[in-house]
């Protein structure tokens, strides 16, 4: 199964339109036009077919996680706990 097949199946299963996929990719700062995106969903024998690379699919999956779950909450940094020395009397 190729990256294009995986991308197509996710698109159909999640009922995503091209503009929604573009917005999902923008969540991870990956810019792509609708026409470039459409090339991934064409048949392999079409003259404008383009193979979907690992980077595009990875960015789409990362963006999809953010789209469905929301952004990760920021971790709070706490000051290290230090032990206070006790003085003997």
pLDDT tens string 30-79: 999 999 999 999 999 999 999 999 999 999 999 999 999 887 777 777 76
Report residue 20 as tokens. Answer: 């929604």
**pTM for the full predicted model:** 0.76
Within a domain: 15 = yes
Range of the domain at 65: 3-69
State the alpha helices, DSSP H only, in 1-89: 3-13, 18-26, 34-40, 54-69
Query: How many domains does one find in the chain?
Result: 1
Looking at per-residue pLDDT, the higher value among 88 and 19 belongs to 19
pLDDT of amino acid 77: 72
CA-CA-CA-CA torsion for 58, 25, 38, 45, nearest 10 degrees? -10
Q: Does the structure show a pLDDT above 90 at 6?
A: yes
Contacts of 23 (CB under 8 A, 6+ apart): 67
Within a domain: 62 = yes
Within a domain: 89 = no
Contacts of 84 (CB under 8 A, 6+ apart): none
Within a domain: 53 = yes
Say how many Å lie between the first and final Cα of the chain, rounded: 76
Within a domain: 46 = yes
Within a domain: 81 = no
Within a domain: 12 = yes
């Amino acid at each position: 199964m190729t990256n294009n097949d995986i991308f197509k199946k996710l698109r159909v299963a999640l009922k995503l339109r091209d503009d929604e996929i573009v917005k999902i990719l923008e969540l991870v700062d990956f810019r792509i036009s609708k026409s470039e995106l459409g090339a991934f969903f064409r048949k392999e024998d079409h003259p404008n077919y383009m193979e979907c690379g690992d980077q595009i699919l990875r960015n789409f999956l990362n963006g999809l996680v953010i789209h469905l779950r929301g952004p990760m909450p920021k971790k709070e940094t706490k000051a290290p706990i230090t032990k206070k020395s006790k003085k003997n009397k």
